[in-house]
């Protein structure tokens, strides 16, 4: 029996030796500790550092790297299912590195004592906290005020996110500007908590990023007009301003301010959902012409504030036409517009959760959509296909009648869905001053199926764009059309230009384009010029079109 135990021990030693040699041959074992720890840091998920605890059980090398890297344990996300003992372990492993703390406390799931212990433990280390996110219920706000009745020093705090409950009686006295020297980012989210008393303690001249939101479908005023003005005036270095949802009183009387707030460093201004907030912003804030201004139009924009569209048209017109050059000032219709499918800008996956379109109005020369305009510009984001059915009033509230150049980018299935909304047809009807129409990255079959130039105009018997002089096609491919279009089945629809079973659409792109342009010319009359830029069609194919309109081919847009 003793001999058997001896042999077993020898085998075990051999197994351990082989395992050590195997680990030495693995890629991760040969990685320097610094690189492996950085890979581990980038593996953080919604659980924060707690989610990395399994790394220490992979092998001895991983355990040594994980426990020897304090940064890996600096992200503490405290929820109702995390025991205080776990929080203490993370703090101990993080040693003295800066902390990234997210505390989410709600009334029902959290025992009061658990919430108190969490707040006391984590916020007692506020001198080490670099980023702090507090989600506080009514009870936890009271607990926080009891635990920290006076301001605390947070020398490393750079980012503060407050998601507040319904309590109106507590002001969170732990925050004070004099104690927050490094704070540059503030985000406040509240559905009912009135933030007027809180803003003076968290807004200072060091803030460069500021966001305020009132999530939820209930319309609740969370800040007064004067309170918001005072807060913004206290942040002259502001670079990114975001205002979401209905923040201001709905009965607020809007008038352009004689003493606007000058924010010369603002590069990005985002307004979401609330027309009232957008109008107030244009009335009260002065920013540079190069700033990127974006308004996200949602269902709530129309349902809750239907009476604000006339005011919006006046403000948007004034905003866009201000600070024009002398050359543009003499143009009757100086605006440019672009419309495109923006799904790929917002979502990186292959399946998009919703349909998103963008429309930009701007002053100045033609620029790529990814670039900022040299003049005033505002971008409308229409999130969700259903919102297109409610956007008719939006078109009426924009100065579309002063647009002289329109760009429609990325024609495809998303655009075809869009073209079926009558509200989008209303949008194009209002652009009666368009002289140049650009189709960028459209296929010939998309152009034929959309049949935009034969859409009805404002007057009976008139087409859209009655002043159209030039048509530009950019980046259009040649070759065979996509099989998925099934021209025979779609030949009797109103959008495809009147094909029939006896006269189906051709299968080659050049023939589809020829038929489309010929049909447009017959029904509308010839244009002054059609430009093909970066298109795949040969000079021979273009000559075969046989149009009265002059066709010019360029290799790129600079010609």
Distance separating alpha carbons of residues 522 and 520, to the nearest angstrom = 6
Least confident range of 152-166, 232-246, 365-379, 395-409: 365-379
Instruction: Encode 385-415: b = buried (16+ Cβ within 10 Å), e = exposed.
Output: bebbebbbbbbebbbbebbbbbbbbbbbebb
pTM: 0.80
159 burial type by CB count under 10 A (0-12 exposed, 13-18 middle, 19+ buried): middle
Q: Are 515 and 454 in contact (CB under 8 A)?
A: no
Is pLDDT at 466 greater than 90 in this prediction? yes
* DSSP-derived pairing of the beta strands 356-363 and 335-341: antiparallel
Per residue in 305-329, pLDDT tens?
666 777 888 888 888 887 666 666 6
Q: How long is the chain?
A: 559
Is pLDDT at 210 greater than 60 in this prediction? yes
DSSP state of 456: B
Per residue in 238-276, pLDDT tens?
999 999 988 888 788 888 889 999 999 999 999 987 888
DSSP 18-62: HHHHHHHHSHHHHS-HHHHHHHHHTT-BTTBGGGGGGGGGT-HHH
Distance separating alpha carbons of residues 291 and 363, to the nearest angstrom = 13
Residue 197 structure tokens: 């008393």
Higher per-residue pLDDT: 115 or 348? 115
Maximum average pLDDT range among 98-107, 114-123, 222-231, 453-462: 222-231
Distance separating alpha carbons of residues 228 and 274, to the nearest angstrom = 15
Domain parsing of the chain, residue ranges: 1-30, 435-559
Q: Are 303 and 333 in contact (CB under 8 A)?
A: no
* DSSP-derived pairing of the beta strands 292-297 and 268-272: parallel
pLDDT value, residue 139: 81
pLDDT value, residue 411: 60
Instruction: Encode 70-87: b = buried (16+ Cβ within 10 Å), e = exposed.
Output: ebbbbbbbbbeebeeeeb
Is pLDDT at 437 greater than 70 in this prediction? yes
pLDDT value, residue 254: 84
Distance separating alpha carbons of residues 500 and 436, to the nearest angstrom = 31
DSSP state of 465: -
DSSP 209-251: EEEEE--SSS----S-HHHHHHHHHT-TT--EEEEES--S-TT
Computed over every residue of the chain, the mean pLDDT equals 80
Distance separating alpha carbons of residues 91 and 73, to the nearest angstrom = 7
pLDDT value, residue 419: 57
For residue 261, report the phi and psi dihedrals to the nearest 5 degrees.
-85, 120
Q: Which residues contact 455 (CB under 8 A, 6 or more apart)?
A: 425, 428, 429, 463, 464
Is pLDDT at 169 greater than 70 in this prediction? no
| Alpha-carbon distance values, 262 to 128, 201, 284, 287, 323 (Å) | 34, 21, 9, 6, 15
Residue in 363, 342, 271 with CA at minimum distance from that of residue 312: 271
pLDDT bin (cut points 50, 70, 90) of residue 83 is: confident
pLDDT value, residue 93: 86
Distance separating alpha carbons of residues 32 and 144, to the nearest angstrom = 43
* Cα 61 to chain centroid, rounded: 41
- The 3-state secondary structure of 498-531, one letter per residue: CCCCCCCCCCEHHHHHHHHHHHHHHHHCCCCEEE
Distance separating alpha carbons of residues 500 and 489, to the nearest angstrom = 9
């Amino acid at each position: 029996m003793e001999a058997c135990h001896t042999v077993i021990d020898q085998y075990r030693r051999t197994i351990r030796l082989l395992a050590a040699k195997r680990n030495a041959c693995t890629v991760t074992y040969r990685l320097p500790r610094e690189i492996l720890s950085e890979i581990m840091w980038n593996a953080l998920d919604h659980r924060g550092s707690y989610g990395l605890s399994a790394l220490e059980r992979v092998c001895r090398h991983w355990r040594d790297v994980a426990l020897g890297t304090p940064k890996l344990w600096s992200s503490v996300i405290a929820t109702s299912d995390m025991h205080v003992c776990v929080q203490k372990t993370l703090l101990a492993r993080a040693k003295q590195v800066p902390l990234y703390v997210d505390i989410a406390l709600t009334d029902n799931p959290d025992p009061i004592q658990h919430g108190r212990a969490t707040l006391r433990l984590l916020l007692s280390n506020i001198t080490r906290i670099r980023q702090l996110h507090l989600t506080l219920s009514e009870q936890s706000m009271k607990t926080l005020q009891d635990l920290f009745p006076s301001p605390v020093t947070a020398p490393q705090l750079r980012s503060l996110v407050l998601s507040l409950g319904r309590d109106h009686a507590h002001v969170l006295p732990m925050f004070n500007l004099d104690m927050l020297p490094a704070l540059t980012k503030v985000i406040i989210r509240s559905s009912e908590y009135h933030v007027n008393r809180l803003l003076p303690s968290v807004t200072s001249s060091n803030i460069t990023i500021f966001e305020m939101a009132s999530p939820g479908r209930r319309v609740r005023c969370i800040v007064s007009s004067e309170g918001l003005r005072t807060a913004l005036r206290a942040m002259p270095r502001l670079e990114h301003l975001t205002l979401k949802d209905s923040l201001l009183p709905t009965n607020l009387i809007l008038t352009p301010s004689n003493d606007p707030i000058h924010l010369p460093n603002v590069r990005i201004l985002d307004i979401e959902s609330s027309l009232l907030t957008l109008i107030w912003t244009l009335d009260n804030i002065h920013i540079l012409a190069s700033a990127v201004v974006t308004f996200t139009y949602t269902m709530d924009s129309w349902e809750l504030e239907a009476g604000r569209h006339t005011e919006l048209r006046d403000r948007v017109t004034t905003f866009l036409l201000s600070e024009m050059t002398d050359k543009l000032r003499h143009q009757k219709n100086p605006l440019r517009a672009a419309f495109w499918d923006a799904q790929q800008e917002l979502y990186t996956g292959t399946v998009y959760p919703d349909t998103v379109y963008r429309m930009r109005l701007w002053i100045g020369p033609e620029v790529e959509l990814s670039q900022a305009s040299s003049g005033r510009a505002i971008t409308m984001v229409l999130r969700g296909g259903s919102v297109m059915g409610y956007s008719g009033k939006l078109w009426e509230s924009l100065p579309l009648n002063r647009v002289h150049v329109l760009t429609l980018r990325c024609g495809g299935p998303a655009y075809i869905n869009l073209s079926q909304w009558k509200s989008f047809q209303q949008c194009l009807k209002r652009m009666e001053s368009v002289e140049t129409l650009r189709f960028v990255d459209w296929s010939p079959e998309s152009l034929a199926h959309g049949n935009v130039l034969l859409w009805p105009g404002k007057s009976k018997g008139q087409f859209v764009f009655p002043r159209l002089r030039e048509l530009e096609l950019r980046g259009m491919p040649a070759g065979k059309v996509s099989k998925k279009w099934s021209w025979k089945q779609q030949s009797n629809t109103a959008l495809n230009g009147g094909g029939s079973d006896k006269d189906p659409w051709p299968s080659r792109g050049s023939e589809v384009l020829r038929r489309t342009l010929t049909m447009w010319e017959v029904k509308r009359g010839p244009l002054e010029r059609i430009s093909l830029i970066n298109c795949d069609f040969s000079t021979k194919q273009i000559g075969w079109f046989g149009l009265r309109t002059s066709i010019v081919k360029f290799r790129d847009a600079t010609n």
